[in-house]
């Protein structure tokens, strides 16, 4: 396909020249994957073949566009409206998301537009309707936007299963994947089931550096507040700045600190996922209208909405991951062929080293990414159930179709049959539900026993499992909505507690009809700013870079002088961690023994290692008292010293320990809950559908414990164990650490070492579970009785 003359004229009238990759994509045959930096006109490139094709008219759905964000579909609809109108194309463009009205949805099922914009969840839902073959039969093209982001989680796996379905319903459909720069384009192409890769010109190198500050980064902590004056200077000099911060709580605190020093009253906004939707939309609108000079944001702003005017990105805190840093930097100067400007603010001394290492990686264009395993089976279970909602299916045909999806190309028939069995009967060793099967086989085809079950299954569509969120409002009639907090966080609050939300300190008053009621508490330091959420660990590649940088004294010239001095002192007192060597130190401090292990394996893996090692230490009678894990080091304190760490890290013992102990752990229970919801064992709580008499609902932890005891080989427990190897438990990285550092170097010292010192300042210490927890509970009960004057 080439660009027709009227399209060429239209480009010329805009004063645009089509980018080479846009023309390449137009000329391409078959499925393609376009890799282009932010601002490279990716989306228009993805739609050009459709627009050209549709100029001749088409009945029914022609192009399906899928993006990870609802907001993006609205953005795209607006952007497409102009060429469609100006070129006078016979095309209707509509979106279909969770926000689309039911009347509109019903009409779309009868009379679909030529171009439909949607999300992976809405696509899965549409594919579960009986009319799916008719709606999608006319489909010619599929455009998958921000594929790099979707490929990182289960939403992408679900989308690929949906794509396999579309390819079956509309043979010959052509798929285009659009992605930001990624480390392994081939893997992404395999993910979408194979595609020709088109690489756009990556553009000029970004202008990126650490922000120079008057005060050095502190030894510990994560706030980055020491850099507030320089950050304000940068905002003043730039037109519009995005300040990225890694967690919502830190974003709240930084936003508050910025305003406390904002003597010029620069308009600065806040944007994160805990804020009420209206509040987020206000900030987005003000941003788009150029009314804000800066916005403090978390990952909620990571994806593609075009802000245009942003000319500076400031990253506060370690980037954790080079690829994400590059994608964030790309948000500045969202214009092709103009260098992006970005400044990094490390939050503490360790992060200074990480930032230097990350900047080197950016300059070398060495991106990282921790590869994901094969497609998860809980997503497949959901897919099977939703397929049954659309109509009876043949198991052999569905197996072949699923294997055509990239993430499931290695799926075995036995795995598929396990999932089908789970969907049909629950898959229990005790055959209890033969009478009440969910799916049953009749005339060789699998179908719903009770077609009315389709409604509930459709309500459970999707792979995003949010922690239960409660709304936060000001007390009183019509109190304004401030945002949401996790239910677990709300449960820790006692009336009078103060916490931060929406950039203001509020006082917890009570819980009323599932809403957290608060009052204003101006000018008071909040007691709490914790929204416990998943903590992102530093990527494997970046950790290796950090370790290599620390270990090579010749490269310390690249570090700020005070950081280099700190490492030099460590080299004198003890030694520096080196690649290939697992360094650990034992020293006394305040009457206890301390053990520091420089594992560079990310906080999740080191936390798991801490849990396993302290258990072994307990058995060995060393009296471990607690531990702390950062991205770089594990620190354990105990009554007796660790003199030989090697047996504590015996690989086989660790594996066994993981199996026995972890099984009862809260992290596993949380993982199980997510798996159980996605696979359709339990229903996610629908808004408004929540039972108010809470004694009717019970925790998924009970199901987990019951299954472990009575059916330990059950499919969902196997899926849970598989997930735990990565993610929050990250056992794979412990093994990776042991592989990469085969030699132990353990030092006995008489006092705290320079490298260990910042650890002692960190918080987030984990007390040892087990007996300890029971003692803690007894102590708390006793203290409460005593305070109440009872014995």
Which DSSP string do the residues of 16-28 spell out, in sequence order? ----HHHHHHHH-
Q: Which of residues 103-142 bind another protein (CB under 8 A)?
A: none
Contacts with another protein by CB under 8 A: the residue count is: 49
Give the residue among 257, 334, 358 at the shortest CA–CA distance from 343. Answer: 358
CB of 390 to another protein, least distance (A): 18
- Tell me: does residue 766 bind another protein (CB under 8 A): no
Strands 743-748 and 581-589: parallel
CB of 708 to another protein, least distance (A): 10
Select 209 or 702, whichever has its Cβ closest to another protein: 702
- Tell me: does residue 532 bind another protein (CB under 8 A): no
SS3 612: helix
Q: Rounded to whole angstroms, how far apart are CA atoms 309 and 331? A: 10
- Helix residue ranges, H only, 330-483: 349-363, 377-390, 395-403, 413-425, 453-459
Convert 76-110 to b/e letters by CB count within 10 Å (16 or more is b).
beeebeebbeebebebebbbbbeebeeeeeeebbe
CB of 514 to another protein, least distance (A): 12
Select 480 or 770, whichever has its Cβ closest to another protein: 770
- Taking CB under 8 A as the criterion, the residue among 103, 289, 430, 554 binding another protein is 430
- Tell me: does residue 713 bind another protein (CB under 8 A): no
Select 16 or 433, whichever has its Cβ closest to another protein: 433
> Residue 645's CB: how many other CB atoms inside 10 A?
19
- Taking CB under 8 A as the criterion, the residue among 271, 438, 556, 669 binding another protein is 438
Q: Rounded to whole angstroms, how far apart are CA atoms 553 and 766? A: 33
- Tell me: does residue 714 bind another protein (CB under 8 A): yes
Whether the CB-CB separation of 408 and 161 falls below 8 Å is answered with yes
DSSP code for 393: B
- Taking CB under 8 A as the criterion, the residue among 79, 153, 425, 578 binding another protein is 425
Convert 392-421 to b/e letters by CB count within 10 Å (16 or more is b).
ebebeebbebbebbbbbbebeeebbebbbb
Give the list of residues 6+ apart from residue 767 with CB closer than 8 angstroms, or none: 625, 626, 773, 776
- Taking CB under 8 A as the criterion, the residue among 111, 417, 619, 778 binding another protein is 778
- Taking CB under 8 A as the criterion, the residue among 219, 336, 393, 428 binding another protein is 428
Q: Rounded to whole angstroms, how far apart are CA atoms 332 and 389? A: 45
Tokens standing for residue 511: 């819980």
CB of 246 to another protein, least distance (A): 24
Give the residue among 325, 303, 300 at the shortest CA–CA distance from 313. Answer: 325
CB of 714 to another protein, least distance (A): 7
- Tell me: does residue 160 bind another protein (CB under 8 A): no
Select 16 or 698, whichever has its Cβ closest to another protein: 698
Binding track, positions 489-518, relative to another protein; x by CB under 8 A: --xx-xxx----------------------
Select 209 or 779, whichever has its Cβ closest to another protein: 779
Bridge partners (DSSP) listed for residue 500:
505
CB of 700 to another protein, least distance (A): 10
Bridge partners (DSSP) listed for residue 515:
471, 512
- Tell me: does residue 285 bind another protein (CB under 8 A): no
Binding track, positions 656-695, relative to another protein; x by CB under 8 A: ------------------------xxxx---------xxx
Bridge partners (DSSP) listed for residue 296:
243, 270
- Tell me: does residue 790 bind another protein (CB under 8 A): yes
Tokens standing for residue 737: 């650490």
Judged by CB under 8 A, the stretch of 36-44, 471-479, 588-596, 706-714 that binds another protein is 706-714
- Taking CB under 8 A as the criterion, the residue among 260, 433, 561, 712 binding another protein is 433
Whether the CB-CB separation of 212 and 221 falls below 8 Å is answered with no
CB of 683 to another protein, least distance (A): 7
Question: Phi and psi (nearest 5°) for 29?
Answer: -105, 145
Which residues contact another protein by CB under 8 A? 425-426, 428, 430, 432-433, 436, 438, 450, 452-453, 456, 491-492, 494-496, 680-683, 693-699, 702-703, 706-707, 709-711, 714, 773-774, 776-778, 780-781, 784-785, 787-790
């Amino acid at each position: 396909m080439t660009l027709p003359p009227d399209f060429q004229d239209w480009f010329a009238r805009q004063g645009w020249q089509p980018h080479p990759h846009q023309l390449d994509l137009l000329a391409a045959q078959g499925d393609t994957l376009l890799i282009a930096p932010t601002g490279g006109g990716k989306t228009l490139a993805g739609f050009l073949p459709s627009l050209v094709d549709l100029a001749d008219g088409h009945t029914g759905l022609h192009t399906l566009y899928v993006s990870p964000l609802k907001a993006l579909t609205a953005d795209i609809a607006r952007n497409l409206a102009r060429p469609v109108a100006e070129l006078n194309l016979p095309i209707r463009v509509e979106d279909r998301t969770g926000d689309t009205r039911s009347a509109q949805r019903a009409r779309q099922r009868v009379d679909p537009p030529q171009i439909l914009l949607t999300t992976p969840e809405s696509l899965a839902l549409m594919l579960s309707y009986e009319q799916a073959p008719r709606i999608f039969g006319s489909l010619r093209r599929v455009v998958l936007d921000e594929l790099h982001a979707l490929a990182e989680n289960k939403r992408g796996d679900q989308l690929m299963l949906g794509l396999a379905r579309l390819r079956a319903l509309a043979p010959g459909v052509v798929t285009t994947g659009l992605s930001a720069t990624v480390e392994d384009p081939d893997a992404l192409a395999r993910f979408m089931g194979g595609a020709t890769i088109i690489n756009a010109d990556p553009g000029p190198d970004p202008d990126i550096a650490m922000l120079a500050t008057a005060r050095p980064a502190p030894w510990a902590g994560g706030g980055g507040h020491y850099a507030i004056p320089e950050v304000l200077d940068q905002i003043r000099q730039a037109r519009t700045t995005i300040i990225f911060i890694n967690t919502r709580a830190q974003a709240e605190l930084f936003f508050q600190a910025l305003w406390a020093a904002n003597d010029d009253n620069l308009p600065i906004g806040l944007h994160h996922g805990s804020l009420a939707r209206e509040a987020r939309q206000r900030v987005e609108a003000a941003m788009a209208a150029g009314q804000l000079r800066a916005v403090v944001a978390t990952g909620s702003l990571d994806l593609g909405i075009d802000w245009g005017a942003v000319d500076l990105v400031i990253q506060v805190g370690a980037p954790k991951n080079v690829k994400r840093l590059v994608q964030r930097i790309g948000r500045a100067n969202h214009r092709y062929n103009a260098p992006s400007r970005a400044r990094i603010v490390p939050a503490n001394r360790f992060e200074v080293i990480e930032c230097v290492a990350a900047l080197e990686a950016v300059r070398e264009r060495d991106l990282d990414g921790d590869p994901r395993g094969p497609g998860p089976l809980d997503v497949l279970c959901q897919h099977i159930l939703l397929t049954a909602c659309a109509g009876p299916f043949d198991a052999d045909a569905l197996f072949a179709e699923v294997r055509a999806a990239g993430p499931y190309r290695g799926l075995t028939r036995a795995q598929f049959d396990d999932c089908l069995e789970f969907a049909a009967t629950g898959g229990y060793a005790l055959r209890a539900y033969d009478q009440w099967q969910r799916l049953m086989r009749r005339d060789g085809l699998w179908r719903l026993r009770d077609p009315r079950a389709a409604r509930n299954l459709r309500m459970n569509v999707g792979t995003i499992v949010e922690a239960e969120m409660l709304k936060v409002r000001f007390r009183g009639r019509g109190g304004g909505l401030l945002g949401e907090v996790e239910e677990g966080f709300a449960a820790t609050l006692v009336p009078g507690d103060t916490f931060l939300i929406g950039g203001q300190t509020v006082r917890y008053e009570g819980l009323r009809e599932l809403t957290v009621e608060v009052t204003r508490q101006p000018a008071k330091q909040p007691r709490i700013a914790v929204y416990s959420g998943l903590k992102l660990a530093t990527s494997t590649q970046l950790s290796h870079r950090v370790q290599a940088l620390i270990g090579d004294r010749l490269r310390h010239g690249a570090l700020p002088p005070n950081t280099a001095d700190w490492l030099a002192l460590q080299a004198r007192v003890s030694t520096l961690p080196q690649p290939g060597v697992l360094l650990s130190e034992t020293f006394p401090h305040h009457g206890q023994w301390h053990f520091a292990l420089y594992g560079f394996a990310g906080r999740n893996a080191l936390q798991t290692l801490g849990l396993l090692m302290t258990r072994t230490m307990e058995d060995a009678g060393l009296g471990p008292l607690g531990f702390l894990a950062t991205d770089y080091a594990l620190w354990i304190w105990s009554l007796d010293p660790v003199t030989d760490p090697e047996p504590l890290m015996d690989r086989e013992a660790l594996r066994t320990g993981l199996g026995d102990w972890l099984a009862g752990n809260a992290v596993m229970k949380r993982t199980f809950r997510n798996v159980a919801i996605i696979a359709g064992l339990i229903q996610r709580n629908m808004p408004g559908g929540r039972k108010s008499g809470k004694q009717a609902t019970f925790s998924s932890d009970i199901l987990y414990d019951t299954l472990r005891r009575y059916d330990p080989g059950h499919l969902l427990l196997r899926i849970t164990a598989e997930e735990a190897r990565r993610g929050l438990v990250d056992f794979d990285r412990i093994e990776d650490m042991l592989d990469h550092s085969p030699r132990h170097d353990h030092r006995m010292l008489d006092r705290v070492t320079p490298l260990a010192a910042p650890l002692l300042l960190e918080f987030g210490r984990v007390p040892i579970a087990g007996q300890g927890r029971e003692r803690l509970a007894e102590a708390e009960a006793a203290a409460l009785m005593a305070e109440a004057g009872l014995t």
